Amino acid sequence: MPTLVLHGDDDQIVPIAASALRSSKLVRNATLKIYPGAPHGLAYTHKDQLNADLLAFLEKGIVP
């Protein structure tokens, strides 16, 4: 199942190296999107970009 992994590179709560970088390598067909300067709450601070990325991922027909 294609998977979209989103993470900010300035997340001080969940370090990117210990989470998104590893999980995107472990999950087959994963796509990693890194938000430069984004904190842990990127769903709030970068909501417009996040929503655009989610829609683009879905519009590719990746999700059944």
Query: pLDDT tens, 10-36?
Result: 999 999 999 999 999 999 989 999 999
Q: Print the domain residue range for 31.
A: 3-59
Q: Is residue 49 part of a domain?
A: yes
Q: Is residue 9 part of a domain?
A: yes
Worst-scoring range by mean pLDDT, 1-5, 25-29, 32-36, 51-55?
Answer: 1-5
Domain count along the chain:
1
Query: What is this structure's pTM?
Result: 0.85
* Residues whose CB is less than 8 angstroms from the CB of residue 36 and which lie 6 or more positions away in sequence, other chains included: 8, 9, 10
Mean pLDDT of the chain: 92
Phi-psi region of 10 (alpha: psi -120 to 50; beta: other; left: phi over 0): alpha
Q: Is residue 34 part of a domain?
A: yes
Question: What pLDDT shows up at residue 60?
Answer: 83
- Cβ neighbours of 8 (radius 10 Å): 22
Identify residue 62 by its one-letter amino acid code. I
The DSSP code for 5 is: E
* CB distance 10 to 38 below 8 Å: yes
In this structure, are strands 30-35 and 3-8 parallel, antiparallel, or unpaired?
A: parallel
Q: Is residue 64 part of a domain?
A: no
Question: What pLDDT shows up at residue 61?
Answer: 66
Q: Is residue 15 part of a domain?
A: yes
